[in-house]
Amino acid sequence: MGDPRGHKVAPILGLACLGLGLLLLPDTARAADAPDPAPLKRLVHQDCGSCHGLTLKGGLGPDLRAPALAHYDPETLRTVILDGIPETAMPPWRPLLTEQEAAWIADYLLKEAPK
């Protein structure tokens, strides 16, 4: 699945807008096919960390360390990241992340996320 924000729009609106589109995209959204781990890790700890804590052990939002997420399969967790949880403070990240990036984050949280 392609990146809906850059690639579909650009051919229609021309090169000038492609440039603008790329400028407006967050760094993490450009390489949709092969997510770049460094900015995604940063996002997880700094931005998810706004609610879940820099070390992901929880805050206003719950603990995101691997043992606390053991009941999630990767698919479900990816969906939670993309669509959020209604009636809670968990927002949908779909406007900011591709499916591949969300899948990478789900995998990272389930397997690797450090203490």
Partner 1 sequence: MTRVFAAALALLLAAPAAPMAETAAQTVATGDLGLVIERATGSVLLVDQSDRAALARIGGLGDLSHASLVYSPDERFAYVFGRDGGLTKVDIVTRQIAARVMQAGNSIGGAISDDGKLVAVSNYEPGGVHIFDADTLEMVADIPTGSKTIGLVDAPGRRFVFSLWDAGETWIADLSGEVPQITKIPGIGKNPYDALITANGRTYIAGLFGEDGLTALDLWDDTPTPIRVLPGYGRGERQLPVYKMPHLEGWALTGRDFVLPAVGHHQVLWIDAATLTESGRTDTHGQPVFAMARPDGRQVWVNFAHPLNDTVQVIDTVTKQVIHQFKPGPAVLHMEFTPRGHQVWISVRDAGKVMIYDTRSFEKIGEIDADSPSGIFFTARAHRTGL
**Contacting positions for partner 1 (CB under 8 A):** 26, 46-47, 49-51, 53-55, 57-60, 84, 87, 89, 91-93, 95-96
Structure tokens at 90: 């968990």
Q: How far is the CB of 44 from partner 1 (least distance, A)?
A: 12
Q: Which is nearer to partner 1, 17 or 25 (CB)?
A: 25
Q: How far is the CB of 47 from partner 1 (least distance, A)?
A: 5
CA angle 92, 95, 97 (to 5 degrees): 90
Q: How far is the CB of 50 from partner 1 (least distance, A)?
A: 5
